[in-house]
């Protein structure tokens, strides 16, 4: 036990911070995914040990076409690399390639309560109005906690919609540490301030989402120049006609300003100044240019990587590295819970 505690203390203080995050391979990524989560992945990789996962086991909490899922896994891996996640610096891998996720998921399911899972707003939103709801959807946050705790993670960069799941992960880790034995590093969420919540272009009271049926509701990272233009020009604003940041009164314009600001580096104040006395038409036209310019190099790299052998090699290497960390944690976890065959005969 002393040795175990020592290891955890050392993990916390002497190594670089460990960063872990995951995205589901469920179709194309949009600007919300990019600005709310994945952009941080790239920023964090120089000063931290980063692990970025393609969470295919989370994806099957809702029905998937197996052929499509396999494609989406490669799509997402290529997109990670296209936005700048560098396999020389970060581990990129597919969740189901590392058995520890499912193994730890089960152990943590036995350390969590159904009450806390039923309380999750994402579960309520996804299960609401349905007659039968898959068990996976309910235990989804437990698997997410396993993803994070498996790597002694310090920091989890995610969109602000994941706050509640991070809290649950912390609660479970603290519960095991306090009631059985200190086993887990308790992680912190890192939520991007600007861009943490990108709203739908056709309805700025809803967040931009993969599941929205209207194609002009979101901008996918792989949208072509014409589609980007159409979606932005069609986006919902208001009748005031002044480019001013006010998320409560002017959610549409504020959302567009937010996108403009994070992609161009201009502050919200300077955007207000730039468009003083001009209408929404000019502002939207320039935003089209800003978005096209930001996405073009990502799309170019994506097309180079997506069908290359390098992609498969990266994922195999990533899984191997992830697995060697995960196996060490699982030894510790099985020891904490008293699972498995002991090293020598016990009476
Ligand atoms: P998902 O597509 O729901 O698996 O989300 C992948 C990541 O993108 C998560 O970290 C989410 O929090 C983030 N994300 C999804 N939609 C948005 C949005 N509209 N604005 C900001 N972040 C988002
Ligand atoms: N639940 C996250 C989402 O929907 C995806 C995810 C799964 C994740 N496991 C994770 C994010 C671990 C961060 C860390 O976006």
Residue 129, pLDDT score: 84
pLDDT at 1: 44
39 classed as catalytic:
no
Q: Looking at the CA of residue 143, tell me the nearest atom of ligand 2.
A: 9
> Is the beta carbon of 207 within 6 A of some atom in ligand 1?
yes
Percent of the chain with pLDDT over 70: 95
Only one residue has tokens 């998320």, namely 247
Residue 85 has pLDDT above 80, yes or no: yes
Q: Report, as an integer, the average pLDDT of 49-55.
A: 98
Return the sign of the alpha-carbon dihedral for residues 307, 308, 309, 311: negative
Write down the pTM of the prediction: 0.89
Per residue in 99-125, pLDDT tens? 999 999 999 999 999 999 999 999 999
Contact yes or no for 17/154 (Cβ under 8 A)? yes
Picking from 336, 330, 328, 335, the residue whose alpha carbon sits closest to that of residue 181 is 336
- pLDDT at 51 exceeding the cut of 90: yes
Q: Mean pLDDT of all residues in the chain?
A: 93
- Domain boundaries 215-303, CATH class: mainly alpha
| Ligand 2 center to 215 CA (angstroms) | 24
The 8-class DSSP code of residue 199 comes to: B
Q: Is the pLDDT of residue 126 over 70?
A: yes
Angle at 113 between CA 109 and CA 115, to 5 degrees: 135
Q: Which pLDDT belongs to residue 211?
A: 80
Shortest CA distance to 293 belongs to which of 268, 322, 317, 264? 264
Residue nearest to atom 11 of ligand 2 (CA): 22
| Mean pLDDT of all residues in 16-44 | 91
Query: Any alpha helices (H) in the chain, and if so which ranges?
Result: 2-13, 31-33, 39-44, 56-59, 66-83, 100-109, 114-118, 121-127, 135-149, 163-179, 225-234, 251-264, 268-274, 280-305, 309-337
Residue located nearest, by CA, to atom 12 of ligand 1? 159
Q: What angle do CA 210, 214, 215 make, to 5 degrees?
A: 70
Q: Which of 161, 212, 255 to mutate to test the pocket of ligand 1 (most atoms within 8 A of CB)?
A: 161
Which residue lies with its CA nearest to atom 14 of ligand 1?
Answer: 33
What was the pLDDT predicted at 236? 97
Q: Report pLDDT for 201.
A: 97
**pLDDT band of 259, cuts 50, 70, 90:** very high
Distance CA 66, CA 72 (A): 10
pLDDT at 26: 83
Catalytic residue among 181, 210, 230, 321: 210
Asked about 130 being catalytic, the answer comes back as no
Q: Ligand 1 within 6 A of 39 CB?
A: no
Q: Which ligand is closest in space to the CA of residue 201?
A: 1
Q: Which atom of ligand 1 is nearest to the CA of 162?
A: 12
Is 213 catalytic? The answer is no
Catalytic hit among 17, 89, 126, 181: 126
Asked if residue 53 lies in contact with residue 42, where contact means CB atoms within 8 angstroms, the answer is no
The ranges assigned to domains in the chain are 3-196+309-337, 215-303
Closest-CA residue to 229 (of 271, 291, 297, 295) = 291
Task: Express each pLDDT in 196-243 by its tens digit.
Answer: 689 999 999 998 988 888 999 999 999 999 999 999 999 999 999 999
Answer whether 100 contacts ligand 1 (Cβ < 6 A). Answer: no
- Checking if the pLDDT of 2 tops 70, the result is no
Q: Is 218 a pocket residue for ligand 1 (Cβ < 6 Å)?
A: no
- The answer on pLDDT for 191 being more than 90 is no
CA of 31 to the centre of ligand 1 (A): 9
CATH top-level class of 3-196+309-337: alpha beta
pLDDT exceeds cutoff 60 at 4: no
| Longest pairwise C-alpha distance within the chain | 83
- Ligand 2: lining residues by beta carbon, under 6 Å: 20-24, 55, 58, 144, 147-148, 156, 158, 162, 165
């Amino acid at each position: 036990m002393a040795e175990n505690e020592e290891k955890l203390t050392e993990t916390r203080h002497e190594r670089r911070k460990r960063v872990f995050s995951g995205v589901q391979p469920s179709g194309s990524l949009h600007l919300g995914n990019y600005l709310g989560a994945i952009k941080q992945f790239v920023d964090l990789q120089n000063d931290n040990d980063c692990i970025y996962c393609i969470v295919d086991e989370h994806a099957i909490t809702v029905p998937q076409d197996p052929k499509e899922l396999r494609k989406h896994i490669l799509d997402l891996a290529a997109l990670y690399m296209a936005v700048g996640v560098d396999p020389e610096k970060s581990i990129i891998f597919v969740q189901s390639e590392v058995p520890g996720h499912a193994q730890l998921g089960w152990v943590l399911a036995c350390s969590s309560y159904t009450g806390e899972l039923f309380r999750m707003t994402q579960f309520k939103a996804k299960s609401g109005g349905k007659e039968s709801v898959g068990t996976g959807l309910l235990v989804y946050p437990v698997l997410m906690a396993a993803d994070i705790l498996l790597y002694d993670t310090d920091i989890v960069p995610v969109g602000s919609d994941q706050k509640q799941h991070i809290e649950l992960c912390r609660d479970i880790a603290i519960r095991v540490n306090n009631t059985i034995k200190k086993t887990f590093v308790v992680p912190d969420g890192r939520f991007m301030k600007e861009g943490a919540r990108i709203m739908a272009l056709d309805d700025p009271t809803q967040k931009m989402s993969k599941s929205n049926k209207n194609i002009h509701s979101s901008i996918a990272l792989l949208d072509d120049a014409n589609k980007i233009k159409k979606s932005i020009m069609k986006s919902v604003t208001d009748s005031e006609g002044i480019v001013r940041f006010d998320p409560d009164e002017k959610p549409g314009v504020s959302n567009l300003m937010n996108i403009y600001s994070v992609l161009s580096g201009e502050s919200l104040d300077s955007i207000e100044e730039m468009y003083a006395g001009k209408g929404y038409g000019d502002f939207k036209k320039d935003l089209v240019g800003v978005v096209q310019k930001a996405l073009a190099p990502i799309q170019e790299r994506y097309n180079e990587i997506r069908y290359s052998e390098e992609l498969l090699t990266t994922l195999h290497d990533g899984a191997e590295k992830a697995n060697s960390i995960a196996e060490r944690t699982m030894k510790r976890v099985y020891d904490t819970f008293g699972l498995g065959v002991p090293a020598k005969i016990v009476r």
